[in-house]
Amino acid sequence: MGLKRGLVQVYTGEGKGKTTAALGLAMRAAGHGLKVYIIQFMKGWPNYGELKTVGGHPQITLRQFGRPEFVDPEKPEPVDREMAQEALRETRRVLTCGSYDLVILDEVNVALKYGLIELRDVLALIEEKPKHLELVLTGRYAPPEVIERADLVTEMREVKHPYRIGIEGQEGIEY
């Protein structure tokens, strides 16, 4: 099938739902026969629900590049930088192989903020993106340069969140 024209989308902001929106887009695209590749930066926890669903869909490839532990934004471990660099290399390979219609870089904006990858590398990926490929970048802290180059930007805004009153995340809802 394929796309006539692929755009660059950014899902950012302090509110919940950026990854969820991207996963919904992946399911929609796959339902229309498009090939999807999801690269998750800084995620390595094997219990994310999406690994059990979209990760097993025949039209969707999902790869994690991260440890099961959270990255310390003040002092990332060398392994965190190495895994983020590996995710960038995989992104470049996927963008140039011609096999995918939609590529999602989940939490790439956070990886930028934490200094795991360089802005110039992400901007180069956006510029090198094939015209027929849709590219989605998720995560808080989207830099102005990424927002400027995007065709669609959605900012999730937290209005109210149960974490603020001590309600912990639930398996199947938050992860």
**Residue 7 carries which side chain, given as an amino acid letter?**
L
**CA R_g for the chain:** 16
* Per-residue pLDDT at 161: 87
Assess contact for 81 and 113: CB atoms under 8 A. Answer: no
Please tell me the pTM assigned to this model: 0.94
Cα–Cα distance for residue pair 55/63, rounded to 1 Å: 8
Burial grade of 19 (CB within 10 A; 0-12, 13-18, 19 or more): buried
* Per-residue pLDDT at 1: 59
Q: Is the dihedral of CA 84, 154, 5, 120 positive or negative?
A: negative
* Per-residue pLDDT at 56: 86
Q: What is the mean pLDDT of each run of 10 residues along the chain (175 residues)?
A: 92 96 97 98 89 90 96 97 98 97 98 98 97 98 98 96 87 82
Q: Which two tokens stand for residue 73?
A: 């934004």
Q: Which domains does the chain have, with CATH numbers?
A: 8-156 (3.40.50.300)
Q: Which two tokens stand for residue 64?
A: 């994690």
Assess contact for 82 and 37: CB atoms under 8 A. Answer: no
